[in-house]
């Protein structure tokens, strides 16, 4: 017997309608290159979204055409998210920090018909234009007064494009399984791969993200995603924030400027912010230097790479801010796990609490995790056994755009994350490495991430990375690469002394090198690939 409930499609349009009807007077505040503090309401935003949808129709686009964006987090990018997806096109967010060849590969692979981009990116696109085969329209996200000179063919000005159009638009009835958005993974090897989200996957992911033990968002919050809109829909926050009706604060081109971020957070009363550890490290250093306070901030969600306990401790102890560690991937929309406390957390001793906080967390309802060995045998949830981490759920990619899915999924259809992890008896998962970064020493695995976490706990270490280098006896041994604080007088022995006793003896790095800078990928993660290239001929001390 089938249930007799309505089959209302789960579409992004429904999030927009809800936010408009219920939270119309809530503000969206943005920094943009042409306005240091733009503010308007959801009602005004969606009025412009309807004008945009009419403008897109007039550009002669077909349903499901891909429309690329290269833009920072601001209100025009927000409008594109809704105008494009709700009108039945696919919003293809592109990371402007990728290599130029990657950008042209991605645009051509997706067959983007239009590109909408920040004015600051005009030179980038002028350099690429000859290679962009499918693009018919170039639209610069600015107004007439700030329109730059450009050789881009027929370049349009966003404000002029939408201005003359009606603010009435009859949104199409979309199938919830239709593609809404597309995001390519940065991919450290091979060509970038496209993850094609559906309306349904984004709506379900937003429900899960908003849950109290997830990101715990509510109408009274003021939320600032530092995580870029071109990275897995700003961790889905572009949908979750309007869904709950929180005030939306967008840092635009200032996301990498700790001073500007602190001012924005304090000035707009931000209660929750989300970003990668590097962002918080910079912000905390700025706060320590200036003595500035973040009076309204209650919590941060930190993910993208492992968050050192030192960041969480400083947030909690100096600023009264709780930090929640999260793990996910572009392929998982991205929320997989969040480290929120279970009922017995408060009764734990300090060290036990710290051990929980360091983990990436437990799966939110909707996704399931497992860890397996090389023979696809499931490993126990004892917090000790390592295994390849696999995930499944309605917001996990079932394949890559235009690619065969077999390479990323196991024979049972679980998605292979490429991460190595443990899961403890309470269901908390801890990433110990990327499959290709784990250091295989004498047949045993050493977690590069754990070594990095311990090393950055040294007060004079600004950043640390660990890679495996060749060893005649053990195959590979860990090399620790450290960026010391600018005014520090740090020695190898001091770093190793700090690590001793905190990790197994045989995990101790065989050597430490000091550098001014560690290379990062376009999404801000440590580039182990680059480091391995740099140190491929490195000889460890005897």
Q: Check binding of 329 to ligand AMP (CB under 6 A).
A: yes
Write the DSSP string, 447-492: -HHHHHHHHHTSTTEEEEEEEEEEETTTEEEEEEEEEE-TT----H
- In the shown chain, the binding pattern of residues 205 to 244 toward ligand AMP, with x for contact by CB under 6 A and - for none, equals ---------------------------x------------
* Rounded least distance, CB 38 to ligand AMP, Å: 28
For the chain, the farthest-separated pair of C-alpha atoms sits apart, in whole angstroms, at 74
Which residues within the stretch 50-89 sit at the binding site for ligand AMP (CB under 6 A)? none
What single-letter DSSP state applies at residue 409?
Answer: B
The interface region with ligand AMP, picked from 4-12, 138-146, 328-336, 350-358 by CB under 6 A, is 328-336
Among candidate residues 79, 176, 268, 331, the one labeled active-site is 331
Among candidate residues 440, 491, 506, 533, the one labeled active-site is 440
Does a cis peptide bond (omega within 30 degrees of 0) precede residue 334?
yes
* Rounded least distance, CB 369 to ligand AMP, Å: 12
Which residues within the stretch 409-468 sit at the binding site for ligand AMP (CB under 6 A)? 417-419, 431, 434
* Rounded least distance, CB 333 to ligand AMP, Å: 10
d(CA 445, CA 386): 9
- In the shown chain, the binding pattern of residues 341 to 380 toward ligand AMP, with x for contact by CB under 6 A and - for none, equals -------------------x--------------------
Task: Using alpha carbons only, give the angle 408, 131, 71 rounded to the nearest 5 degrees.
Answer: 70
Strands of the 368-372 sheet, one edge to the other: 368-372, 387-392, 415-423, 429-434
Q: Check binding of 13 to ligand AMP (CB under 6 A).
A: no
Strand partners of residue 69:
93, 116
b/e code 377-395 from CB counts within 10 Å (16+ = b): eebebeeeebbbbbbbbbb
Are the beta carbons of 108 and 131 closer than 8 angstroms?
A: yes
Q: Check binding of 304 to ligand AMP (CB under 6 A).
A: yes
Task: Using alpha carbons only, give the angle 278, 279, 284 rounded to the nearest 5 degrees.
Answer: 100
- Does the annotation count 507 as an active-site position? no
Task: Using alpha carbons only, give the angle 385, 328, 361 rounded to the nearest 5 degrees.
Answer: 50
Task: Using alpha carbons only, give the angle 183, 304, 123 rounded to the nearest 5 degrees.
Answer: 50
d(CA 129, CA 465): 37
Q: Which is nearer to ligand AMP, 268 or 437 (CB)?
A: 437
Q: Which is nearer to ligand AMP, 249 or 306 (CB)?
A: 306
* Rounded least distance, CB 393 to ligand AMP, Å: 15
The interface region with ligand AMP, picked from 156-164, 304-312, 453-461, 481-489 by CB under 6 A, is 304-312
Instruction: Kindly give, in sequence order, each residue whose CB lies less than 8 Å from that of residue 220, ignoring residues fewer than 6 positions away.
Output: 246, 271
* Rounded least distance, CB 217 to ligand AMP, Å: 19
* Rounded least distance, CB 408 to ligand AMP, Å: 12
> Quick one: which of 23, 29, 523, 528 contacts ligand AMP (CB under 6 A)?
523
**Residue least distant from ligand AMP (Cβ):** 330
The interface region with ligand AMP, picked from 104-112, 171-179, 290-298, 319-327 by CB under 6 A, is 319-327
* Rounded least distance, CB 300 to ligand AMP, Å: 13
> Quick one: which of 13, 104, 142, 185 contacts ligand AMP (CB under 6 A)?
185
Among candidate residues 32, 185, 240, 271, the one labeled active-site is 185
Q: Which is nearer to ligand AMP, 52 or 531 (CB)?
A: 531
d(CA 66, CA 49): 17
Write the DSSP string, 11-47: -HHHHHHHHHHHHTT-EEEEEETTEEEEEEEHHHHHH
Instruction: Kindly give, in sequence order, each residue whose CB lies less than 8 Å from that of residue 418, ignoring residues fewer than 6 positions away.
Output: 388, 434, 435, 436
* Rounded least distance, CB 195 to ligand AMP, Å: 8
Q: Strands (DSSP E) along 352-443, which ranges?
A: 362-363, 368-372, 387-392, 415-423, 429-434, 439-441
Alpha helices in 111-218 (DSSP H): 122-128, 158-163, 199-210
The interface region with ligand AMP, picked from 30-38, 58-66, 329-337, 510-518 by CB under 6 A, is 329-337
> Quick one: which of 303, 308, 366, 468 contacts ligand AMP (CB under 6 A)?
303
- Does the annotation count 445 as an active-site position? yes
* Contact residues: ligand AMP, CB under 6 A: 185-186, 232, 303-306, 325-330, 334, 360, 417-419, 431, 434, 523
Active site residues: 185, 331, 440, 445
């Amino acid at each position: 017997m089938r249930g007799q409930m309505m089959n209302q499609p789960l579409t992004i349009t429904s999030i927009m309608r809800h936010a408009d009807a219920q939270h119309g007077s809530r503000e969206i505040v943005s920094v943009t290159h042409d306005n240091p503090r733009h503010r308007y309401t959801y009602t005004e935003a969606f009025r412009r979204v309807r004008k945009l949808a009419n403008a897109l129709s007039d550009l002669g686009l077909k349903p499901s055409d891909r429309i690329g964006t290269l833009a920072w987090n601001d209100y025009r990018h927000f409008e594109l998210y809704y105008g494009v997806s709700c009108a039945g096109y696919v919003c293809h967010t592109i990371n402007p920090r990728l290599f130029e060849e990657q950008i042209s590969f991605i645009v051509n692979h997706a067959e983007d018909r239009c590109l909408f981009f920040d004015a600051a990116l005009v030179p980038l696109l002028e350099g690429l234009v000859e290679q962009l085969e499918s693009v018919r329209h170039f639209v610069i996200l600015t107004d007439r007064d700030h329109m730059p000179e450009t050789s881009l063919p027929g370049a349009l000005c966003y404000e002029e494009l939408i201005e003359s159009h009606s603010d009435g638009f009859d949104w199409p009835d979309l199938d919830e399984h239709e593609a809404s958005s597309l995001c390519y993974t940065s991919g450290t090897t091979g060509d970038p791969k496209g993850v094609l989200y559906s309306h349904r996957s984004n709506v379900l992911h937003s429900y899960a993200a908003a849950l109290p033990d997830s990101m715990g968002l509510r109408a009274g919050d003021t939320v600032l995603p530092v995580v870029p809109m071109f990275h897995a829909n700003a961790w889905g926050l572009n949908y979750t924030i309007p869904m709950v009706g929180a005030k939306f604060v967008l840092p635009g081109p200032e996301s990498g400027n700790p001073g500007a971020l602190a001012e924005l957070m304090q000035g707009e009363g931000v209660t929750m912010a989300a970003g990668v550890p590097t962002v918080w490290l910079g912000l905390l250093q700025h706060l320590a230097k200036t003595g500035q306070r973040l009076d309204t901030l209650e919590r941060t969600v930190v993910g993208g790479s492992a968050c050192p306990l030192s960041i969480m401790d400083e947030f909690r102890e100096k600023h009264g801010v709780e930090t929640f560690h999260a793990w996910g991937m572009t392929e998982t929309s991205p929320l997989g796990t969040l480290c929120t406390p279970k009922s017995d957390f408060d009764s734990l001793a300090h060290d036990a609490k710290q051990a929980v906080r360091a983990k990436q967390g437990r799966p939110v309802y909707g996704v399931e995790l497992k860890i397996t060995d090389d023979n696809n045998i499931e490993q126990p949830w004892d917090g000790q056994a390592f295994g390849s981490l696999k995930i499944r759920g309605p917001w996990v990619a079932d394949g890559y755009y235009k690619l065969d899915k077999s390479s990323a999924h196991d024979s049972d259809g679980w998605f292979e994350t490429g991460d190595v992890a443990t899961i403890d008896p309470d269901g908390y998962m801890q990433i110990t490495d990327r499959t290709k970064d784990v250091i295989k020493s004498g047949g045993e695995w050493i977690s590069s991430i754990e070594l990095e976490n311990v090393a950055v706990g040294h007060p004079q270490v600004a950043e640390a990375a660990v890679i495996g280098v060749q060893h005649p006896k053990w195959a590979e041994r860990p090399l620790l690469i450290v960026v010391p604080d600018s005014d520090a007088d740090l020695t190898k022995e001091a770093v190793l002394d700090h690590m001793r006793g905190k990790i197994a003896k045989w995990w101790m790095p065989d050597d430490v090198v000091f550098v001014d800078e560690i290379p990062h990928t376009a999404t801000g993660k440590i580039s182990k690939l680059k480091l391995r290239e740099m140190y491929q001929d490195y000889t460890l001390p005897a």
